[in-house]
Structure 1
């Protein structure tokens, strides 16, 4: 088998598509030292979606490999990606002006109120006010009158600590490491993909949980 006819296939675990005709290039990457074969493989159709609504389809890389080898019997396909992959079909929708901004503002308000409530309940639970009063009295020997430098430094330090922890503020980042939110979102997406694949493999199978 000539090395120029070896095709390397790398399928992503989950791909969101908006067209009913799905091609290899939509769900993964293809490499071949022969550019003609590579273009032919990338343009091969692997699925035609019939449903009109949003739906996830669990597909096998073996079907893609079989299709590529039928397309050109002279090639040999090496799969270096996922064995099972997901096509997440979303019907094309007309963009609604301001809708994305409205969702962003709504999420920011919910996140801000939730974080504020969590911080306040924590402060009340551990009685931070009394702790600051006792610390202030131990250091100065006087009873605090209203808010002190301790409350101010605590508030500033809390806001600064949140910014440092999440490593992201607008377009500014401390370093190139992914933020905790990005890590959690990737883990969430991976768990969704694994769950969909496992649920699909259990269809019409009896599962003994005893």
Structure 2
């Protein structure tokens, strides 16, 4: 006699609208040797409410309990992650152009001040003057043929470092900023899983 078996792999994160009724298909990939997979995928798992705020977490045990109650003779194997992070989309506000412009201006001024203060701290002007003297034997106050290429190279170096010009990428390699953002998102997801778990909330 063939055993009815289903394999389920939970998605890591999904985004849904407010008051959305989550089914297995929304949070997991399902396969198996049965002919009623669509019924299993349509099984209701969790109803998003106002109490969930912006984020909720569905645990794999919650899904298994629903499946066991609905199909007691079905063998289920849960693969991969054990939790799904559910982001609840609220009504998004339109971007404030004035606020964005002020933030952009503040960041540009702050970056420029940081670069200038760094060059002042390391006496970059004296370094350029000394380098010019070593190469030419002449002392000048403004060695422009060193300072101009250095300034251009500084900008190009930042572009290459971040691997972006606006939305254009130079290659498939992620930039250091993208790696840090990825690590930050991983840590944030782990925090949400620990503190926002739906089963833990119900137990509390």
Q: TM-score range by the shorter chain?
A: 0.7 to 0.9
* Distance of 1:28 and 1:111 partners within structure 2: 41
Q: Secondary structure at the match of 1:144?
A: coil
Q: CA RMSD in A?
A: 3.0
* Distance of 1:19 and 1:52 partners within structure 2: 11
Runs in 1 of length 4+ with deviation above 4 angstroms? 1-4, 100-108
What TM-score comes out, normalization by structure 2 length? 0.79
Deviation at 1:103, TM superposition (A): 7.0
Higher RCO by CA contacts (8 Å cutoff, separation 6 or greater): 2
Q: Secondary structure at the match of 2:140?
A: coil
Q: Secondary structure at the match of 1:197?
A: helix
* Distance of 1:53 and 1:69 partners within structure 2: 25
Q: Secondary structure at the match of 2:10?
A: strand
Which of 150, 153, 178 matches 2:149? Answer: 153
Deviation at 1:153, TM superposition (A): 1.2
What TM-score comes out, normalization by structure 1 length? 0.77
Q: Say whether 1:190 aligns with 2:186.
A: yes
* Distance of 1:121 and 1:149 partners within structure 2: 22
Partner of 1:208: none
Q: Say whether 1:139 aligns with 2:138.
A: no
The CA deviation string for residues 87-119 of structure 1, in whole angstroms up to 9 with x for no partner, is 22232x2663xx287776565444433332221
Distance 1:26 1:125, change over 3 A: farther
* Distance of 2:170 and 2:73 partners within structure 1: 51
Q: Secondary structure at the match of 1:22?
A: strand
Please say if residues 9 and 77 of structure 1, whose CA atoms lie closer than 8 Å, have aligned partners that are also in contact. no
Instruction: Give 1:90-169 correspondences, 5 Å limit.
Output: 90-91=89-90, 93=91, 96=94, 99=95, 108-169=104-165
Q: Secondary structure at the match of 2:57?
A: strand
